[in-house]
Structure 1
Amino acid sequence: MSEPKSENVYRDIFEQSPIGLMIFDRQGKIIEANESSLRFLKAGKDKIIGLSYSSLKDTRVSSLIGKGLKGEASDYEGPYNTTVSGLTLQVRIRVNPLFDNSGVFGVTLIFEDLTERKKTEEKLAVTLSDIRIAQEALEEHEVKFKTLFESAGEAIFLMDDRVFLECNPKTEEMFGCKREDIIGASPVDFSPEIQPDGIPSSQRAFQKIQAAFGGKPQTFDWLHCRKDRTNFDAEVTLTSVTLNGKALLQAIVRDISGRKRAEEEIRKLNEDLEQKVVLRTEELKSTNTYLENTNRDLLLALEELKSTQAQLVQSEKMAVLGQLIAGIAHEVNTPLGAIISSNEGIQSVFRQDWEKLLCEFADLDSQERETWKKIFTKGSIFPDFYDSSEERKNRKIIRETLQNLGFPSSEFLSENLAELGIRIEDIPDLVQGIQKEKFPTLVANAYNLSGILRYSNVVREAASKAARVIRALKTYVYQDHAGISLIDIREQMDLVLTLYYNKVKQGVEIRRNFADNSLVKGQADQLTQVWANLINNAFQAISYQGRLDLESHIKDDYLIVSVTDDGPGVPKEIQDRIFEPFFTTKEKGEGSGLGLDICKKIVERHQGKIDFDSSPGRTTFRVHLPLAEKILI
């Protein structure tokens, strides 16, 4: 029988192949895709052609294509997320670079849809390699498809219902013979007489060939033999193709001898393993019963331990709070006193002849009202000073200036202006164009009416300060004991310092230097307990007189928070013991010896660590906590 015409033969093989075939140019864009690939991907050719490999949704495949463009062939088997249809397929993919005299000029991607296959042994990579495709002109396409056929990594035959008509070079290598030994021969000539299932090769080959010609592609295991009659296991795929109007079969043969040997080895290993499992199962049953009983006892003990530990943590927190309660009460009483005083000041304005104040304002002309407005605005805000030497000096200068300008009642007038926050440099602008006899009345009127706003501002600031103290106290005592949240260390430090303000405002210099990113994840109440204990220890070490440095910085993936005091330091002979539970250097009744032990356990639960160094004049405790973005909660 004559061989089929070469015209369009390779194009037909490409288009009708049951395997998905794609060709990428050297820029990584798809320039060819056969029908099988479009069917697998459930996408039209208009959506595929021109698509760049870098735009593929599945980065695993796009990286393989990238390697191919660099001259590296590669295989992949597993899930694949399609770009156009959004499907997830189980595929076997082979990427082969295409070479010409200039180097790599493109890539072929060969893939087979394995989604419906049930057995792992059927999922083998379908590889085609060394496809030479010219990109520039339409007349070079046949060269591309011929290169694809001849450089495939599997043996490929073309045959009619009886004999082979064409084969690729891989076929010669696999069967150990020349092309002329294959063309004109039948599949039975390269098979033993009987297949492993006991069926004659001729009978089974006839069945498979007829089924494939009937439109049902066939994939099956087959025992082939080489020219020297040595056998090897193969996987064969038969597909009906039409070339020049004539129905033929395309056969793809893959050597699976290695896979078969591996399967046999695995089967033997499994048999040995099953025997060992049976023996070990009985041993494990008795051990498991013992472990279950032991585990039950341990769980009960653990629950008791957790309960006891929680009570100790709360007791330590309340002990710290008890030391601060008198100062906190003072911090609340002071703004409350300011509020009461300011309220009396507001009422005193209305108890005076307020109708007279309004009438006086109504009698002012436009120039006088403009001056009144400036004085009123100054008096409605907090002055820069109160009853201080600077204020008295300012009052004296104002009085002398007014006397020099010839204003009457300069003593009372200068006192009002000074209390309103008027400076000497403001006087010329205020008295310009104002009658001397009327100026004291104008100032007294603005002073009395602006007092309402001054006292209101005092009430607002005092209430804000009291609310801040109460909020800090409430946060310290009633924080959520279970939830994991994002925590800003700077806010927690401010909360603790608010509770200590009355104790340290006169004698401790506090310096803060925190990193911009001072965020961690954890339990807020537990970390607040750590800062409260460390800061409380530092204040006690310096007897509330000295300097406290609070700092944080980032090192690697950790936020390092440090608390440093300039106290006498921890004696070297006890430095190894300060984290031991119930160890304390304080007087009886002043400490439980649990503070640092609790701090250490809390920090370790947050995947961190705590350490310190100490010498006379400087002691630093450092807490290392993972940065918030590095923790998986």
Structure 2
Amino acid sequence: MNQNEEKEVLQSLESLVFVIGANNTFAEYYGGKKTPLYANPQEFIGKPIRNVIPKHLWTKFQDTATQVRETKRRHGFDYSLMIEGEDRWFHADIELHNDEESLIAIIKEITAKKRIENAIAKRELMYRVLFESANDAIFIMNHSRFVKCNDRTLEMFGCERDQIIGRHPFELSPKHQPNGGDSKRLALERIHRAMDGKPQVFRWVHKRCDSKLFHAQVSLNRIQLDGEVLLQAIVRDITEQVEMERELRESKKKYQTLFESAPVAIMIIGSRGEVLAANEATSSLLGYSISELKNTNFKSLYATQNNSTDVVQTLISNGELCRHETELKHKNGQTLTIVLDSEAVELADDWVNFVTIRDITRQKRTSENLKTAAETANLYLDIMSHDIRNNLQAIMTAAEIIRTRTNDSTVRGAIGAIIEAVGNSNGLIHSLHDTEGLLSVDLHRMNLVKVINECRRDLKNEYPSAVIEKKYDINEATIQADTYCYDLFHNLIENGIIHNDESPPHVWIKLKELDSGYLVEIADNGPGFSSTRKQAIFDPKRRFGGVGLHQVKYLVERYGGKIDIRNRVENKIEGGTSFVVWLPKANA
């Protein structure tokens, strides 16, 4: 091949070829079909290299040229240049020319290769950072043995690195898993599936180096590193999650048991009024099976559909109902009067209502019957009181006439007894009228100390000669009662004054806290009661106690309390009587 042919071949090269003289000047260049020039030929041919190329590249060239001349062998280096506004990477191979003085530099662009290498390096760095900083334990496995692990692995398993590397997963596990399966067999099955290209995600119980067990979620994936097929295992400690799940299951089981066995009817109603759940008590109350209730809307259970829309709308908008009285329809068509209580609870990103249902049909009917009976009784009382008062007035008038026309002491004494009896009868009628509201008045919170003090004050004014002493162990006592509470204690205290032959009559009032209520003792120095009289005094059939004491017993029981009668002095009837009343505390 002649010199011209050689030049043609050189010009056709993809790489750039420079001939550099002994004095480090650019002598010639060839080729470069795919390798760009840093400068136009006229800017560097015949000029010193150091005046053409950047300083950092001149330093690299000098060092490499020195090595080539000393070793008489080819040497190379990579460098970058800013060409057309972007970094371009090149590789330079430098060797001696045949004249052993000049140098030949072959330049090849490697930008694409360099970008790939940089991307790989960044990815490897990112992987390394993720590998070491991950909050999960990460293993690299060669078949079934650990060959690499991150620092979190050592922390999670409480081991040194040499206690992990080279071991099998089943060696860091108990002999059996919670399902009874053999850990070694199960681990190898999972590993083989992952090696076959089937990613595995499963729960596992691992064992720390101190033999303590912990729950984990394991994922196995086949990966390829440096041409080698390996397994990547990611282990997450889920002990707290498993414990929470266990507690949740137990809580759900307890709730389910309480819900299903509760004696009160309970329903869970969705945001559109649909019945989501109902217990057996609801089924018994309404006559529908639980499955029938679940397939219905709460509106359809109402006896009157006009009322249902308002109630369901209230549940949806407010989520709460308190002691709402309404009527539901039994499956057999019967109308039930019930009381609804509801509370809204957020469940699974939606609001539901826990609704309790109390059947007050019988209570309502009884209340209405009592009201009717009370109205009837009051009507008869008014009629009879009017007629009896007229008759008593006639008797009183006749007695007064007779008394003014006779001087017979016996007759006048009898007339006095008649007039006194008429006065007592009028007083009895007045007392009966005072009890008209007993069946209808509502109970409310009252201060028992205040009530007794008012009774004592009024009776001291009415009976100035009587001695009424008090001894309270407490300053405040709140009970659930009504306005007739005053009559209750007024009757008991007055009873100890007017049925008392002693002069002066003496009454002792004691008040103290006892158990979940208050004990009031009202004692007197009167004649006392025999055992037979004590047993019969509150018996309405025998009527030994009179209207006042029977009212007292009724009121005590209405307030949820108890009353007893005793001797003031033990085993001594003539020592006086003691009425003992216990009333429960009002709810907080």
Q: Which range, TM-score by smaller chain?
A: 0.3 to 0.5
| Higher RCO structure (Cα 8 Å, ≥6 apart) | 1
Question: More helix per residue: 1 or 2?
Answer: 1
Q: Could you state the TM-score of these two structures normalised by the residue count of structure 1?
A: 0.33
- State which structure, 1 or 2, has the greater radius of gyration over its C-alpha atoms: 2
Question: More strand per residue: 1 or 2?
Answer: 2
